[in-house]
Amino acid sequence: MTKPISVAAKTRQIVKKHGGGKSAMIAVLQDIQEAFNYLPKEALKTAAKAMNVPMSRVYEAATFYTAFSLKPRGKHIVKICKGTACHVRGAAILQDRFETTLGIKPGQTTADGNFSLETVNCVGACALGPVVVINADYHGQVTINKVDKIIKKINEEGAQS
Ligand code: FES
């Protein structure tokens, strides 16, 4: 069995891959978030040291972009589009359904760490509204019935892996 890699070791690998320096900061933060689903404090400290930049600069970049999260997030990130086109097509009803099904509000993560719920502005697929993005997958014309099916499918896939 392989030993799990520590946050610091993984972060050093990521910095090494991008070559360090301020110009690589965003790419490093993106990879850290991809690895841990959020930006752990330990990873930010390690990255600052490895890139030889002040922690304040790393923190500034980490908080500037809304795509980055400093809070632990679930394995699957459910983003409900609340842009105008999706709003008029029932995004609020979908949000209610996701909240009820998952038992969490936007900004929260389920106790099993499986799902986080977020609301976002227009994701650029208005014609497909209402749109829900789960991880990198776009789900268009989502209905209340589809919500349960989507969650069930993800849970089944997780049980098989
Ligand atoms: S408003 Fe939802 S994709 Fe544009």
Residue spans per domain, the chain: 7-64, 76-160
Tell me if 142 CB under 6 Å of ligand 1: no
Give the Cα separation of 29 and 36 in Å (integer). 11
* pLDDT number for residue 141: 96
CATH topology classification for 76-160: Glutaredoxin (3.40.30)
In a structure prediction context, what are the per-residue pLDDT tens digits for the chain, which is 161 residues long?
A: 556 789 999 999 999 999 877 789 999 999 999 899 899 999 999 999 999 999 999 999 999 987 888 988 898 999 999 999 999 999 999 999 999 999 999 999 999 989 999 999 999 999 999 999 998 899 999 999 999 999 999 888 876 66
91 CA closest ligand 1 atom index: 2
Cβ of 120 below 6 Å from ligand 1: no
